[in-house]
């Protein structure tokens, strides 16, 4: 017999010593101070005791805060809600069937033999002939060499990946599910398996274990500070919010607020060229987010780039909803778009504008155009551009998992004051990419205790806006669930029936190849409903990076097809790929619609002599929570 420990001893010995040291304050610090089993030195024992005391004190402080203010608990994160979701998921899956358990066990044992054989252990040990360990399953969550350095950690993450695969396959084989139920089960399965990753648990993650031992638990103290700060604000942090200030290092393009209502502010940006296009441009960003996604900084700003191309640019800055907006519905946003268009026309004394609608504001712009055509006022809009906007929601992607009657009722219950807290929407969008937008930050910032990066895009992503509850329910019910916008005259907005088939405005449509919020196939459908000349462009990347891609970055690509494709598949088959940003393609198209220019004088320079303005850009509304 040899005194060499079996392959699993080291794995469990380290965590045992770590737990003993961490919980020394509760089990008696004297034992740790004596260095039982050689676990820690007296100095280390004292430090571990201090770490344990800090963790305990921080948690007790947080608990006392919650008990003093029960309303501070965010109902969206109620554990009972998620336990009910998990229970419902389990009941629909065949995991409890004896034959399924037997098959999983047998296949799992074969996997264990294969993995252990890579380390010269077990029945397949003789098959190992040196060289690097080659594990059957790869995943970037387990890319660090520490996940392969010890057979126990290799078994842990390989077993997890194996089970995640098999559970996903069960969804496809589950009986008695209609397509919507199956898609919901796919989504729930993905969310649960992502949450169950061993990378998310400190004692199962070798990277976290090593960091904890190296820092003697200081990473856990810092991580606890991060976690409790997020729990207090009811939102997961992705970036260092203190690194950004509106008007100073984000939303910096010079301009003035020239018009204001209870629903929006209208910003006009100062020209940088002597002459500008005669027809101005008005941008309608989504009120689900802040407008400055299009004005992050000088290098990334679509606004600044357009201004530098000689375009007179107006931007709508929507007000984040509060109790005063409890009766706001979709009609109000359509009326606001028409009001903004009319104000720009009157201010600059021009017959028409170019308009851009991004995401939900693009959906609304489509309805606005239909209404203007019905009222024989279509000449108010010379051209329309749509950034990742949907009008036909049949293929709307994973967000369709949130619009059945049960989900709508749950969302309504989260809006007692007439508006939906933006943190709920942020959590929903995070769930669509759980590994990237939730668990990656749990590991890095809670477990490893790393500092938050100063990243403007992530800052914008967390700068949430509240939504009027009536509008939100109406939007999910009428558009996402019932898809009524594409039915001629099925919806009436501002006392006017909506028929998209009437729209013949020249249109530019941009979709993101990897967009998970407005899938390209869904965005494509606008080509099947509008009747006027239309240019469709498929951009590389997704919902944000596919739009915010300045030419100077040299990133991604875009595709065009000058033929007559009848589907997105046909578009792709005959598409021509172009490197870099699609922005130059768009500005060329815009100039084709209207090439006339005028001097950048008078009210083309907001805030000049005799021009009454309200305040400097970016205005007050973008700063309100």
Catalytic residues: 359
Return all residues near 259 (Cβ < 8 A) that are at least 6 apart.
265, 266, 340, 343, 347, 614
Q: Which residue in 49, 55, 56 sits closest to 22, CA to CA?
A: 49
Return all residues near 205 (Cβ < 8 A) that are at least 6 apart.
198, 199, 443, 447
* Alpha carbon distance 496, 152 (integer Å): 66
**C-alpha radius of gyration, the chain, whole number:** 28
Q: Which residue in 476, 467, 506, 280 sits closest to 384, CA to CA?
A: 506
Sheet holding 557-560, edge to edge: 576-579, 557-560, 534-539, 507-512, 381-387, 353-358, 281-284, 313-318, 264-269, 255-260, 615-616
* Alpha carbon distance 350, 363 (integer Å): 25
Q: Which residue in 332, 189, 313, 294 sits closest to 622, CA to CA?
A: 294
* Alpha carbon distance 96, 521 (integer Å): 37
The β-bridge partners of 277 are 597
Q: Write phi, then psi, for 235 (nearest 5 degrees).
A: -160, 140
The β-bridge partners of 315 are 267, 283
* Alpha carbon distance 149, 313 (integer Å): 57
Contact 548, 521 (CB under 8 A): no
Q: Name the packing angle between helices 98-118 and 151-173 (round to 10°).
A: 150
* Alpha carbon distance 568, 560 (integer Å): 11
End-to-end CA distance of the chain: 69
């Amino acid at each position: 017999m040899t005194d060499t420990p079996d392959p699993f001893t080291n794995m469990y010995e380290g965590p045992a010593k770590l737990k003993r040291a961490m919980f020394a304050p509760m089990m008696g610090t004297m034992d740790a101070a004596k260095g039982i089993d050689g676990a820690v030195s007296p100095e280390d024992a004292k430090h571990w005791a201090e770490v344990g005391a800090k963790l305990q004190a921080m948690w007790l402080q947080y608990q006392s805060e919650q008990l003093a203010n029960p309303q501070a608990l965010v109902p969206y994160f109620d554990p009972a809600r998620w336990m009910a979701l998990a229970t419902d998921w389990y009941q629909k899956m065949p995991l409890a069937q004896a034959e399924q358990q037997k098959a999983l066990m047998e296949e799992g044992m074969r996997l264990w033999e294969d993995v252990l054989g890579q380390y010269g252990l077990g029945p397949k040990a003789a098959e190992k002939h040196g060289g690097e360990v080659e594990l059957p399953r790869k995943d970037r969550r387990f890319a660090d060499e520490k996940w392969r350095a010890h057979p126990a950690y290799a078994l842990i993450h390989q077993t997890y990946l194996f089970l995640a695969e098999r559970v996903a396959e069960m969804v496809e084989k589950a009986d008695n599910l209609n397509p919507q139920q199956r898609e919901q089960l796919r989504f729930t399965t993905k969310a649960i398996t992502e949450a169950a990753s061993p990378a998310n648990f400190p004692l199962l993650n070798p990277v976290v274990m090593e960091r904890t031992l190296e820092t003697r638990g200081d990473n856990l103290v810092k991580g606890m500070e991060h976690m409790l700060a997020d729990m207090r604000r009811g939102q997961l942090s992705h970036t260092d919010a203190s690194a950004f200030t509106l008007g100073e290092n984000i939303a910096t393009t010079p301009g003035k607020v020239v018009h204001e209502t209870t629903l929006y502010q209208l910003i006009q940006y100062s020209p940088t060229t002597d002459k500008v296009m005669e027809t101005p441009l008005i941008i309608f960003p989504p009120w689900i987010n802040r407008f400055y996604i299009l004005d992050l900084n000088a290098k990334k700003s679509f606004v600044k780039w357009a201004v530098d191309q000689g375009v007179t640019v107006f931007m709508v800055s929507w007000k984040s909803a509060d109790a005063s907006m409890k009766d706001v519905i979709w009609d109000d946003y359509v009326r606001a778009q028409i009001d903004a268009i009319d104000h720009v026309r009157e201010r600059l004394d021009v017959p028409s504008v170019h308009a851009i609608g991004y995401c939900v504001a693009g959906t609304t712009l489509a309805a606005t155009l239909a209404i203007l055509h019905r009222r024989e006022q279509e000449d108010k809009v010379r051209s329309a551009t749509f950034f990742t906007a949907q009008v036909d929601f049949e293929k709307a992607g994973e967000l369709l998992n949130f619009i059945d009657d049960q989900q709508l009722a749950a969302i309504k219950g989260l809006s007692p004051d007439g508006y939906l807290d933006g943190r709920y929407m942020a959590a929903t969008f995070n769930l669509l990419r759980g590994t990237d937008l939730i668990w990656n930050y749990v590991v890095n910032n809670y477990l490893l205790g790393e500092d938050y990066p100063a990243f403007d895009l992530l800052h914008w992503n967390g700068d949430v806006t509240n939504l009027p509850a009536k509008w939100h329910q109406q939007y999910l019910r009428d558009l996402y669930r019932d898809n009524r916008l594409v039915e001629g005259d099925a919806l009436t907005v501002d006392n006017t029936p909506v028929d998209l088939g009437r729209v013949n405005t020249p249109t530019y449509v941009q979709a993101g190849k990897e967009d998970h919020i407005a899938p390209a196939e869904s965005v494509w459908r606008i080509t099947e409903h509008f009747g006027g000349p239309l240019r469709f462009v498929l951009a590389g990347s997704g919902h944000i990076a596919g739009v915010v891609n300045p030419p100077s970055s040299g990133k991604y690509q875009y595709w065009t097809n000058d033929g007559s494709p009848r589907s997105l598949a046909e578009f792709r088959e005959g598409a021509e790929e172009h490197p870099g940003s699609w922005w130059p393609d768009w500005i060329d198209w815009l100039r084709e619609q209207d090439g006339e220019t005028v001097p950048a004088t008078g009210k083309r320079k907001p805030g000049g002599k005799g021009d009454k303005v309200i305040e400097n850009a970016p205005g007050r509304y973008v700063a309100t929570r």
